[in-house]
A = this chain, B = another copy of it.
Amino acid sequence: MTSDIAFDTAAAPRQAQGPSRRKGDLDEAERESRIYEALLVAIVERRLPPGAKLPEIELAEIFGTNRSRIRRVLGRLAQERMVSQVLNRGSFVARPTVEDAREVFDARRLLERSLVRAAAERLGERALQRLRAHVEREREAARRGDALARVRLSGEFHLLLAEVAGNRILEDVLRELVARSSLVVALYEHVASADCSHEEHGTILDALAAGEAGAAADAMLHHLSEIEERLRLDQPEEPKIDLRSLFAGAR
């Protein structure tokens, strides 16, 4: 047996194969993405709260598929830190620690400050209109008290900015961070804070429209810090006595 791995570079596909699919026959990979998104949306919208168990068989039945596919989807979500997997126990909606929460917001501040500046440079009339329309939809959702839509639109505003910035890699990174933010907010939000700051997006947009990139970046930083400060990240989050290290060397 040859113990070497094939090096026939020429035989490798140059790129992910093109769209050679017929009209209505959504292929298997597509179906898997649907399941992935359905789960992700359910988590982000808190219909699946942090800590909820995600049994493979039950999910397979719900989505009309088999366990192995569910398993792949859960693995993907686990890699994105949306679910945590425990050996021989299964998958659960993730419960970010306080430290995780801080790092998520730190990361977002660092990332989005620069993304806003990048978006400011590339901002065209088309993009500006999309942003305006989006903020208007946010206002409308707020007016009619649709909390679910507000949360979803609020996240999408940030993603829209990242899209304008024009780097898909960072857009994907931010997508993960926004999703994780939902978990953090779900875990640590003050009950009495549900509806503030719904005009900060408008402030950011105004600064962008005025061509003031620095002001827009500052507004973004302020906005993210506002969200974070509305959380209760100072609680001990559980005594968490480590008996093992406490009795280390005593055996």
Residues of A within 8 A of B (CB): 1, 3, 5-18, 20, 27-29, 48-55, 58-59, 61-62, 72, 75-76, 79, 84, 86-87, 89, 92-93, 95, 97, 103-104, 106-107, 110-111, 113-115, 118, 167-170, 173, 177, 238, 240, 242, 244
| Minimal Cβ-Cβ distance residue in B for A19 | B244
Question: Known pairs A12-B95, A13-B92. 7 more at Cβ < 8 A?
Answer: A5-B53, A5-B55, A6-B53, A7-B52, A12-B51, A14-B240, A103-B167
Cβ-defined contact, B52 with A5, below 8 A: yes
Copies of this protein in the complex: 2
- State A93–B6 Cα separation when bound (angstroms): 11
Cβ-defined contact, B6 with A167, below 8 A: no
Main secondary structure, interface of A, reads mixed
For A168, list chain B residues within 8 Å (CB).
103
- State A5–B91 Cα separation when bound (angstroms): 12
Cβ-defined contact, B95 with A14, below 8 A: yes
| Minimal Cβ-Cβ distance residue in B for A92 | B12
For A89, list chain B residues within 8 Å (CB).
13
| Minimal Cβ-Cβ distance residue in B for A42 | B5
| Minimal Cβ-Cβ distance residue in B for A81 | B169
